[in-house]
Amino acid sequence: MQAFKNGVLSEGAFSAREIASGLSRSRRDFLRGALGMALGTALVSASPFVRAESARKRRKVIVITFGGGARDQETFAPEGQENIPHLISELAPQSSFFTHVTNQGILGHYVATASLTTGVYETLNNFSAVPPDHPTVFEYFRKDLRRPASDAWVVAPSNGFNRIGESNSRFYGPGTGAAVILPKHLLSATKPGALNDLDHLLRDNYENPMYTPQLAGNEFEIQQLEMILRLSVEDFVAHARTLSSPDELSVYIAKRLMQQESPSLLWITMHDIDVAHSGAYSLYIDGIRRTDRLCAELWNTVQNEPDYAGNTTMFILPDFGRDSDYDAGGNGFQHHRTGDAASRTTWMMALGAGVRQGVVYDEPMQSIDLVPSLGAMLGFTAAQSQGKPVKEFL
Amino acid sequence: MQPRDLKSEQFSGYPPEARQLVADHLDALRELPLSFVPGLLREAIEYDFKFPVERGAIERELKTLSELSPEQRREWFQSFNEFSLSPQLERFDWVNLPAQFTEQLSAYLWSTHQLDAYRHTASAYGVRIQSSVVPEPLPMPRLGIAVIGQGVTTYDRALFMNLRKRGTHFNQVKPENGLEMLLAAIAARAQKYPQPYRHWYVDGGKEAEHSAALTCVSYGAMERVREALLKNMQAQIQQPGMGPEELRTHLARLTPSDLGMKDAADQVLSRFQLKVLTEGSGTQIFSTSFAQWTAREALRRAEPLTLMVRFAPRQRQRPMNELLSDTRSGVEVDPVGSLVDADMAAYYHWINQQRLAGYDRSAFLVWFEGQSEALAIGPTLPRGTSSSSEVDLSHLLALTLG
């Protein structure tokens, strides 16, 4: 059968597990060799994460998803490192780097990011504006630690992410999670129909470019620009005119949020890279380079903001990878449809407060382990998460 | 409904040859699991519009399945029988809408964490089917040619990096009349072994003058069809209740005449072109994506002996809604970005060629159009080396083929 024949030559001589381990090893060997980072399993002392109650109250966490979907060969593999100079030269040496993160869930951006926030492999329709089925990290954080709504925020790329701030769990749910800012939605709401020169910032869904879900949920409204971000519509639009991509707009809003609200839990989802779905390799590479630069920009902001400097832990991780060049069921970098090892195996970088610098951990972990790990660090229990806290954070 | 309940009259909506093909093998289909049969019907329903190579493959597969003993059938399909399917899938009209069924099956397998096991099972089946057929020797070594970089006069970064370890890098190529030499060479191959759909020329822009013996597909010639498709998509998206899955279903049902394809005399090629535009991602807006996907699908489906792909500059990136709504020619192009796209596409061309029978004798040439750089991969050429020999494209092609 033609469809099955496509898959026949894809596996080659290696199993998915071997390929995933190989990807992990190559990241580890590079980071240890070129950057002189230590192997985490060789360190036997206790976790560096400070858990004194007073420290916890001041602790801030920023999670950046390096999305949507980047492969090793365009990032941490030798031939890809030129695309991520900031991650390689500036951030990795200061980080604890986890070389082997797998995502066993559905590889759609919304459902995968929702899974990252809940610690459960969600099965919702990737293209529907529905909330996750399980409580999100924002709900655990706010309820267990009695934090106000202003202390947890999400900045997300497209309208499809507007329900990611809180679940429909009956023990949590509406009003108990994070507010979601959709910068592109804000921009288009400023002057409907009169932003022709800003269309490049309004690109929405690269996988189904003509589909834009209707908004419904706890999203940030235009009236709150001035009230919360202390930003006039005119200044917002004027600054937007200086930017070149939706992720740049997201980072601009995230920085403004840090300055005005200084949330303790901030989640930023990048998406420019997903232009790869158009099949133009050069645009995919441009997206990776831009995301690399924006991650460093956010890290520098952390260092320069008094509320964040010295007490912030930042996590950077892709939501997942993309298909391998050699899987005949896919078309290489263009999509993430095969579920092969290259599309499921990624990495995670942790930087900042309490993090051992220059350490490489190559124990396999899953992307759903992030939420319980954040719980271990911040002092909440991710009761319904199916992940396990990463032991380096315990 | 389960396959065991199949009746020949249920296939009355199939095109005539597909209907007969299924009727001839209905007994075998009734014995197979639901997790498998719609995938086979997805191919069979298109039988009338498939390339000769594809038709032969479906016929052989059905014949093999019909000849399995009950014990063999049990062994071959035991793993397929173990997948749990939803009642909705069982109720679905998978006889008439097998492609839509397989999409829904895929979504269901993802959501129930059965996808990896299904991939494994399907791959194992594919190996079995392939190993049951002894491939006939090719009448000539397969040849792939990629011509990249049109419109770029200088480029100071290294090209062909993914392919260099596989072949010889030539840096003193004489570019004069290169395109004409390549087109003449592939025309000669087509005349030597004149089999239908076995010698292709794909152009990401306006096609150059070429032999009528070649099967030609070009982005330029598809301009009106692309425009009609984008208008059709825009109209559909405005319909209430329209989402990505509904749009995909709508696109899958389009026929060449829906988009005003005049050249319907060749139904097989028209359907192929339509599928490139409706199933490919980015093929409607970027000429580089169009050329890459056309090459990929031509290799996968028609298994050509000769495939030359010439890339042209794609339009510069613009907001997605503008790209989708504005199909005017003459928009600003991005030659350097297109060169990077095409360099990767050439690598994919080679990979896809290597998936086919006779890969150990096949040859591949990628040339930076109008420039002195090329890379050649052939059975007698050294790998991972460079050559400063002055050669024209005709000579280089001869070296590539050995």
Model pLDDT for residues B175-212, shown as the tens digit of each residue: 999 999 999 999 999 999 999 999 999 999 999 999 99
**Does pLDDT of A237 surpass 50?**
yes
> How many A-B residue pairs are in contact by the CB < 8 A criterion?
146
CA distance A89 to A96: 14
Mean pLDDT of B56-75: 95
pLDDT for the residue numbered B235: 87
Q: Say whether A16 and B116 touch across the interface (CB within 8 A).
A: yes
- Name the residue among B43, B314, B324 with its Cβ closest to that of A1: B43
ipTM value, please give it: 0.92
Q: Say whether A10 and B61 touch across the interface (CB within 8 A).
A: no
- Name the residue among B39, B123, B286 with its Cβ closest to that of A8: B123
Give B233-291 pLDDT, tens digit per residue.
888 877 877 777 778 888 888 999 899 886 567 999 999 999 999 999 999 999 999 99
Mean pLDDT of A109-126: 92
pLDDT for the residue numbered A3: 34
Mean pLDDT of A284-304: 97
**Does pLDDT of A359 surpass 90?**
yes
Closest CA–CA distance from residue B395 to any residue of chain A (Å): 31
Mean pLDDT of A177-206: 71
Cα B208 to Cα A311, B143, B184, B214, B216, distances in angstroms: 63, 19, 11, 12, 10
Q: Say whether B317 and A275 touch across the interface (CB within 8 A).
A: yes
Q: Is B370 left (phi over 0), alpha (psi -120 to 50) or beta?
A: left
Q: Which contiguous run of DSSP H or E holds residue A235?
A: helix A233-240
Q: Residues B293, B288, B152, B382: what is their CA dihedral angle, to the nearest 10 degrees? A: -20
Q: Say whether B244 and A2 touch across the interface (CB within 8 A).
A: no
pLDDT band at A187 (very low <50, low <70, confident <90, very high): confident
Closest CA–CA distance from residue A394 to any residue of chain B (Å): 29
- Annotate A18-57 with DSSP letters as a single string: HHHHHHHHHHHHHHHHHH-PEEGGG--SPP-----HHHHH
Mean pLDDT of B85-102: 94
A8 touches chain B (CB under 8 A): yes
Mean pLDDT of A290-301: 98
What phi and psi values does residue A4 have, to the nearest 5 degrees?
-80, -35
**Does pLDDT of B80 surpass 90?**
yes
Mean pLDDT of B290-311: 98
Most confident of A164-178, A188-202, B232-246, B338-352: B338-352
pLDDT band at B330 (very low <50, low <70, confident <90, very high): low
Most confident of A104-108, A185-189, B129-133: A104-108
Mean pLDDT of B147-172: 97
**Does pLDDT of B76 surpass 90?**
yes
Q: Which contiguous run of DSSP H or E holds residue A250?
A: helix A246-260
pLDDT for the residue numbered B326: 63
Give B128-142 pLDDT, tens digit per residue.
998 888 888 999 999
pLDDT for the residue numbered A7: 30
Superfamily covering domain A2-393: Alkaline Phosphatase, subunit A (3.40.720.10)
Q: Say whether B247 and A283 touch across the interface (CB within 8 A).
A: no
Q: In chain A, which residue's Cα lies nearest the Cα of B317? A: A283
CB distance A329 to A338 below 8 Å:
yes
Mean pLDDT of B357-363: 95
Which of the pair, A129 or A112, is modelled with greater confidence?
A112
Q: In chain A, which residue's Cα lies nearest the Cα of B242? A: A211
H-only helix segments in B154-286:
178-192, 223-237, 244-253, 267-279
Tell me the domain boundaries of chain A: 2-393
**Does pLDDT of B86 surpass 90?**
yes
CB distance B263 to A254 below 8 Å:
no
Chain A residues inside the 8 Å CB shell of B285:
278
CB distance A269 to B328 below 8 Å:
no
CB distance B165 to A43 below 8 Å:
no
- Name the residue among A1, A200, A326 with its Cβ closest to that of B126: A1
Most confident of A31-40, A155-164, A174-183: A174-183
**Does pLDDT of A91 surpass 90?**
yes
Mean pLDDT of A67-85: 92
Chain A residues inside the 8 Å CB shell of B43:
1-3
Name the A residues in 86-125 with CB < 8 Å from any B CB.
Answer: 104, 106-107, 121, 123
pLDDT for the residue numbered A90: 97
Q: In chain A, which residue's Cα lies nearest the Cα of B122? A: A4
**Does pLDDT of A204 surpass 80?**
no
CA distance A193 to B168: 54
CA distance B147 to B310: 5
CB distance B340 to B157 below 8 Å:
no
CA distance A160 to A251: 18
- Name the residue among A104, A127, A282 with its Cβ closest to that of B341: A282
Q: In chain A, which residue's Cα lies nearest the Cα of B161? A: A79
Chain A residues inside the 8 Å CB shell of B286:
278-280
Mean pLDDT of B338-347: 98
DSSP E strand stretches across B233-383 = 306-310, 363-368, 374-377
- Name the residue among A79, A203, A280 with its Cβ closest to that of B319: A203
A210 touches chain B (CB under 8 A): yes
pLDDT for the residue numbered A43: 58
A80 touches chain B (CB under 8 A): no
Closest CA–CA distance from residue A199 to any residue of chain B (Å): 6
CA distance A165 to B26: 52
pLDDT band at A251 (very low <50, low <70, confident <90, very high): very high
pLDDT band at A8 (very low <50, low <70, confident <90, very high): very low
Mean pLDDT of A183-207: 66
**Does pLDDT of A31 surpass 60?**
yes
Q: In chain A, which residue's Cα lies nearest the Cα of B46? A: A2
Residue type, B247: L
Q: What percent of chain A has pLDDT over 90?
A: 57
Name the A residues in 275-304 with CB < 8 Å from any B CB.
Answer: 275, 277-283, 285
Q: Say whether B293 and A2 touch across the interface (CB within 8 A).
A: no
A13 touches chain B (CB under 8 A): no
Q: Say whether B129 and A5 touch across the interface (CB within 8 A).
A: yes
Give B372-396 pLDDT, tens digit per residue.
999 999 999 999 999 999 999 999 9
pLDDT for the residue numbered A114: 95
pLDDT band at B115 (very low <50, low <70, confident <90, very high): confident
